[in-house]
Amino acid sequence: MISLKSAVAALALAASFVVPASAETTLTVHYPMPGFFKDVMDTISKKFMAENPDIKIQFASPSENYEQGVQTIMRQVGTAEAPDITFIALNRLRMVTERDVPVDLGPLMAKEGDPAKLGYSETLLKLAQVDGKQVGLAFAASTPILYYNADLVRRAGGDPDQPPKTWDEVIQLGAKIQALGDGISGIDFRWQSDDWMFSALLFGGGGHMLTPDMKTVAFDGPEGQKAFSILSRMVKEGGLPVLTKQAGEQAFVAGKIGMAFQTTGALRNTIKNVGESFELRTARLPLVDAEKGRLPTGGNAAVILTRDAEKQAAAWRFVKFATGPFGSATVVPGTGYVPTNELAATSPEYLGDFYAKNPLFQAALRQKDIMVPWFAFPGSNGVRITQAIVDNESRVVEQKATPEDALKDAASEVQRLLPRR
């Protein structure tokens, strides 16, 4: 008879030769703007791990905004601190690609077959391409929209059912709202943190940032002059106060600003913060040129950084999931961004009837046909270039420079910062 001690020893020896069915792979994921994305990321990661028990998702400390995010990644590349996956602003993809930071997703995508069957249209794929290279997959995509306080519009003699369709109408309505007094302002325009809203005015008039060869500033032409002029008129005529981005958002949800122009990605938070304080409405952003006008697509793309083969395979599974139907259907109602996966947009299981039941989300969807990529400046000075544009917008808003002088100075500074090649 075999003793108990011998049996236990035999079992232990046998167990030592058993190979686990699947070892757990841990992926570190970094993302920016936790105010927008924390709940979304938590939901997506929990669902993903439930369906992929062999992969664990852990999050690095999120960055406050896109600019801090990309600078953090650039510092960490090549070190043990670098995450396996990050989410990079669409206009910073060129910067990281020029330094060979992202993994080329082209070969991984090719193995999947037809991208359309996964919900990736050609338009959506191009948002995260640099010179034809698929460096990421769009995760969140947005255009700027008009948010407005229907109560203040009525008090000012306007019709909330007929929101302004031109910038002249915006400025005229802003002046009427400003005239209500009691600390009420007509307009808030989110110009402070990057060049996105300037792009909305520039592209909205059919303009371009640089010449096609990417060597020379092109935004100082008639379209750029019109953009800076509109910004100046918002201040002088439309009731645009000098506020920080945060202060402007707080004033709007407090009922002290009539119209706010910013990303549709802030919609869910705005709805929550407004509550029952006033009737919130949304509308398409006016175009400077109704025929030639386009709008920049903000947001970010999922980018794989790890070169480790095992982690890269796991990272690809997560990126597909995050940008797939479930991920996209989580992002849209949780933020206000437009869907970056066609299957999510059309399937009854996901967003099929969402827009009919949530009309405030329709404004951005109705602008999908005029979305173009957020311009990505070449070279290593992208952040400094953006800041040069913002600094000169600030001079206009603070009435420290004329639109003409500010635009001229912005163009000169940006030209100086472009790569010399």
User: Residue 368: is its pLDDT beyond 90?
Assistant: no
Please name the residue ranges forming H helices in 83-238.
Answer: 93-98, 106-112, 122-126, 150-155, 167-178, 196-204, 222-236
Query: In CATH, which of 3.90.1150.10, 1.10.3720.10, 3.90.25.10, 3.40.190.10 is domain 144-284+377-417?
Result: 3.40.190.10
Domains 25-142+297-373 and 144-284+377-417 share a fold: yes
User: Residue 2: is its pLDDT beyond 70?
Assistant: no
Question: Which tens digits make up the pLDDT trace of 61-116?
Answer: 999 999 899 999 999 998 999 999 999 999 999 999 999 999 999 999 999 999 99
Output the six-digit token pair for 263: 């990303």
Q: Provide the residue ranges of all domains of the chain, joining segments of one domain with +.
A: 25-142+297-373, 144-284+377-417
One-letter identity of residue 269: N
Which one of 65-79, 113-127, 166-180 scores highest in mean pLDDT? Answer: 166-180
* pLDDT number for residue 179: 97
**pTM given for the model:** 0.85
* pLDDT number for residue 305: 98
Which CATH architecture best describes the domain 25-142+297-373? 3-Layer(aba) Sandwich (3.40)
First and final C-alpha spacing in the chain: 85
Question: Which tens digits make up the pLDDT trace of 178-233?
Answer: 999 999 999 999 999 889 999 999 999 999 999 999 999 999 999 999 999 999 99
Q: Which of 145, 138, 196, 190 is nearest to 331 (CA)?
A: 138
One-letter identity of residue 65: N
